[in-house]
Amino acid sequence: MHLKIVPRPVSHGTRRGRFVLDGRTALTADPALTGVAAWLRAELGQVTGGELLPGTPGPGTITLGLGDDLGPEAYRLSVGDDGVAIDAGGPAGAFYGAQTFRQLLPAAAYRRSPATEPLVAPGVHIEDEPRFGWRGCLLDVARHFMTKHDLLRFIDLMALHKLNVLHLHLTDDQGWRVEIRRYPRLTEVGAWRRESQTGWNGAMDGRPHGGYYTQDDLREIVAYAAARHVTVVPEIDLPGHTQAAIAAYPELGNLGTPLEVRTTWGIGRNVLNAEDATVAFFKNVLDEVLELFPSPYVCVGGDECRKEQWRESPSAQRRIRELGLRDEEELQSWFIHQFDDFLAARGRRLVGWDEILEGGLAPGAVVASWRGDLGAVAAARRGHDVINCSNTQVYFDYRQGPGEDEPVPFGTVLALEDVYAFEPVPAQLRDDPAAERVLGAQCGVWTELIDSNRRVDYMVFPRLAAFAETVWGPPGRDLEDFRARLAGHLPRLAAIGVEYRPESGPLPWQTRPGVPGRPEDPKEWQATIDAWTSNLRDLA
């Protein structure tokens, strides 16, 4: 029997019999697993029309229990005439077992109305657990805002693929998306822009864009994610990517003249100044962020900070002298260190993009390596934990095919099979004990050119399914096997209403003639990568 489970479970075998889910199905759970039971009742109740009341373990009942011998995310699932039994090392494992059970049912099990066909799961025995503890996805809600409703749906889709970290990119030049009570202008001003560039270098659209999450919204999002075993890691990007904050509070910048929230794409010149008052401002911001997000990890960005303004600013030059630093690069490192100490003192771990390696880091800091594999190698060899977010392998804003009909093409081609071929542990670390430092990997949904939830669906699915296999399953891939399972998975996405990209290419309404992308000539692309990574090569 070929099970269409995505990501692929570690092992499975067949059992006699089958299980029919209907309005009389019972559900019973160990008291430690009541949260999982509540979730499963709500999800399955919609398609059975029943209440899945507690019952006796055995035929007609789904039983969630604990298994002492299992890790917290591991589960054993057994389905047959004798009922459904999910044994797990803890709530996360039980949740993944329940997700797998749901995938044994027809795609109708993903609808929100009573099924008109029988909901039959085949007899199986599955043993499963993830390879990596960090199975993440970055979502950029700064460049284009995603409504709370769509964000909750996205969390459900991540959980369906057994991902467990949502890295929420909340602030950037083009928008500030988190309410901060102490500094209301961050959202009054910073959450809105006058207009946006269409595509990469196109005309301005002339339409205001914006939105933000209130603190109540964020508490709800965090709780919703936690119930699905997803940790939300907030990102407040510093000291670059901050024009929206500077627009709200000009004293944070270097120019002393008003700026607007940025309306175009690319790496901006406008960065924070390095005054003590600015560092204090962002510590106050983080105090509120820490209250909202219980995550042990908090990201302060640190990427792509242009240095022109610091070079030209007398006060930045004075700071460099006062602090005894060599240059602007060291000023950036000093800046990040202020937050490294701040977060460590509050029991949290700083996460930053691989630029934070330049200048040395506190031992507890985690490096999100994005410029290819090099940052991961450099960080791991320096004893830092690493998340592999390689742009050349798992950035989902990059185009999915070489065709002319690809909408708003950007970056290099990352087709489904390219993502599927991704290996979270870089080749250079394979025989190196430093490989232990790779906590996992994270795909990136950067949204400069993804201007609606429908475009998110198009860019993310089904590549997210391929990515999930790389962080959940053991090393080694079988593309044909994956494709066969994906054929059973796409109807689930369709039942949910995900407007994914067919592997054959975009549907006619998914192309976007006239919206310019940034097609990359492979040679130019390589030159860009080489320039980006020149300083990383020395560190690796």
Q: Which residues are catalytic?
A: 172, 241, 304
- CB-nearest residue to ligand ACM: 303
Phi and psi at residue 519, to the nearest 5°: -65, 140
Residue 93 or 372 having the CB closest to ligand ACM: 372
**How far apart, in whole angstroms, are the C-alpha atoms of residue 333 and residue 345?**
18
Residue 311, sorted as left (phi over 0), alpha (psi -120 to 50) or beta, turns out to be alpha
Give least dist CB 304 to ligand ACM, A.
5
409 contact partners, CB below 8 Å, separation of at least 6 = 399, 517, 518, 519
Q: For the window 282-321, what string marks contact with ligand ACM as x by the rule CB under 6 A?
A: ---------------------xx-----------------
**How far apart, in whole angstroms, are the C-alpha atoms of residue 272 and residue 268?**
11
- Give the total of residues touching ligand ACM (CB under 6 A): 4
Give least dist CB 378 to ligand ACM, A.
15
What is the dihedral sign for C-alpha 65, 155, 214, 370? positive
Residue 135 or 371 having the CB closest to ligand ACM: 371
Residue 420 or 446 having the CB closest to ligand ACM: 446
The binder of ligand ACM chosen from 353, 398, 422, 472 (CB under 6 A): 353
Residue 200 or 353 having the CB closest to ligand ACM: 353
**Prior bond to 239 cis, omega within 30?**
yes
Give least dist CB 152 to ligand ACM, A.
25
Angle at 65 between CA 62 and CA 71, to 5 degrees: 130
Give least dist CB 238 to ligand ACM, A.
13
Q: For 280-298, give one letter per residue: b (16+ CB within 10 A) or e.
A: ebbeebbebbbebbebebb
At how many degrees (to 10) do helices 91-104 and 148-160 cross? 80
Residue 398 or 472 having the CB closest to ligand ACM: 398
**How far apart, in whole angstroms, are the C-alpha atoms of residue 312 and residue 240?**
16
DSSP-derived secondary structure for 433-477: GGGGGEEEEEEEE--TT--SHHHHHHHHTTHHHHHHHHHHSPS--
431 contact partners, CB below 8 Å, separation of at least 6 = none
Q: Is 342 in the site for ligand ACM (CB under 6 A)?
A: no
The binder of ligand ACM chosen from 370, 396, 410, 472 (CB under 6 A): 370
Give least dist CB 301 to ligand ACM, A.
8
Q: In the window 501-520, what residues touch ligand ACM (CB under 6 A)?
A: none
Beta bridge partners of 353: 368
Residue 275 or 304 having the CB closest to ligand ACM: 304
Give least dist CB 136 to ligand ACM, A.
13
Q: Is 396 in the site for ligand ACM (CB under 6 A)?
A: no
* Residues making contact with ligand ACM (CB under 6 A): 303-304, 353, 370
